[in-house]
Amino acid sequence: MQINTAVAAQTPRPFYRTLYFQVIVAIILGALIGHFWPSVGESLKPLGDGFIKLVKMIIAPVIFLTIVTGLAGMTSLRGVGSVAAKAFGYFFVFSTLALVVGLIVANVVQPGAGMNVDPATLDASAVQGYSEKAHETTITGFMLGIIPDTMVSAFVDGNILQVLFIAILFGIGVILIGEKARPVVDLFETISRVVFRIVDILMKAAPIGAFGAFAFTIGKYGIGSIVNLAALVGTFYLTSALFIIVVLGTVCALNGFSIFRLISYLKAEILLVLGTSSSESALPALMEKMERAGCARPVVGLVVPTGYSFNLDGTNIYMTLAALFIAQATNIDLSLGDQITLLAVAMLSSKGAAGVTGAGFITLAATLSVVPTVPVAGMAIILGVDRFMSECRSITNFIGNAVATVVVSRWEKALDRSKFDAAMRGAALPEGALPTGGLHAPAGLQLGETSAD
């Protein structure tokens, strides 16, 4: 209650100083420059790339510190297994549902029908690079890739799953040692405060990154390139919006909160994802804001990073929708059996796709290479507009992981409803102001307990 009182007493920040407003302005300016001065827009690409590199630089320590200090507050390994089981159960159900939704919409709307593209005329070299990367993405390779060569290499390479693996092992070791590990945990808690302060500093550069990335996208690809494939782009955006509002909205309603209030709470981060076309650009901010909203740190630390590899609703909708679009455009008739095979392969190939630009395209190539009925070369048809669908994929993935974090926290009775309700009403802590214990689960709240549920 002290936190809420303090928040209420604070003077509201002028709208022009909020990250939300600054990113909106940056995106608009970037779009204008990219449209009217395309060459200038393309030259601004380093601004977007630089910002994404800055954020990726801090992701590994954020994940490691959040998980280790979160698990340190748990008294047994039972809580770790419970969170992991519920999270992966959620991921499997909704990732599969997203694939099915994309398949159904593609069959009903048939956005590629009537294009009559001859597969022999397609330029396979245009997508050769994606195909080569796709062939490297095997299930065995993915599983072995979770294990880093050394504990340090996981941080050097910035591989989310490898860092997650090391962090969980370290956290389990802390739990097993018990009170003797307290000095290490105290040190990590102090470091985590410094790291999250760095995140706050880096987020101030978000408008610059969004400006450069969006100017490049519009300058290089042009808004006019959407017109030729408007049916696919429009169908994908509409399907993703319906998935968020109807499917995820229903999940939110069943768990006692509104999808629209959650989106409003995360609007600055969503705009950042839109501007940079990368959900990773907002990963540290998402973890911090989920904790501020009352989700216990152990849940945030486990659900968000794993969700970025295993809970990709937007990517899954895109994969089945795009695959059937290519088949329709090239007049390839897919039987029910072919579509079921496509769905099964996509369920496997979609796991482990990173939330970065182009990952969905690579994963689609991996899926089509296993299902020879649809030519991989057909991806050349949608290559020109893939960048415009990348933003929608990233935003849908981002919102899906935010919902998963709240839902799993509630299932674990590790959601501080007073803080969460305050955040949903817009009374969340302002950026850069963390209260005592603000980076931890609610005081006195451990997994399996609840303060106001």
User: Are the C-beta atoms of residues 35 and 265 closer than 8 Å to each other?
Assistant: no
Give me the helix-helix angle, 2-9 and 417-424, nearest 10°: 20
Residue 20 and residue 274: Cα distance in Å, rounded?
12
Could you tell me if 385 and 223 are in contact, meaning their C-beta atoms sit under 8 angstroms apart? Answer: no
Q: Look at the block and give the residue holding tokens 């705009």.
A: 271
Give the H or E element holding residue 98.
helix 78-109
Q: Work out the angle at residue 277's Cα, subtended by the Cα atoms of residues 31 and 328, and round it to the nearest 5 degrees.
A: 100
DSSP secondary structure of 228-258: GGHHHHHHHHHHHHHIIIIIIHHHHHHTTS-
In the block, residue with structure tokens 């817009």:
426
Q: Could you report how far apart the first and last alpha carbons of the chain are, in Å?
A: 16
Count of other CB atoms within 10 angstroms of residue 339: 19
78-109 vs 336-349: helix crossing angle, rounded to 10? 140
Ordered DSSP codes for 321-361: HHHHHHHHHTT----HHHHHHHHHHHHHHTTT--SSTTHHH
Domains and CATH numbers, the chain: 22-424 (1.10.3860.10)
pLDDT per residue, tens digit, the chain (453 aa), is 344 444 444 456 676 677 767 888 888 888 888 888 988 888 888 888 888 788 778 888 888 887 888 777 666 667 677 888 898 899 989 989 999 999 999 999 888 777 776 766 655 554 555 445 544 455 566 667 778 888 888 888 777 778 888 888 888 888 888 788 888 888 888 888 888 888 888 888 888 888 888 888 788 767 665 665 778 888 999 999 999 999 999 999 999 999 999 999 998 889 888 877 777 778 888 988 998 899 988 888 888 888 887 888 988 898 889 888 888 888 888 888 888 888 887 776 666 454 444 566 667 776 776 666 777 777 777 776 777 788 888 899 999 999 999 999 999 888 999 999 999 987 645 444 443 333 333 333 344 333 333
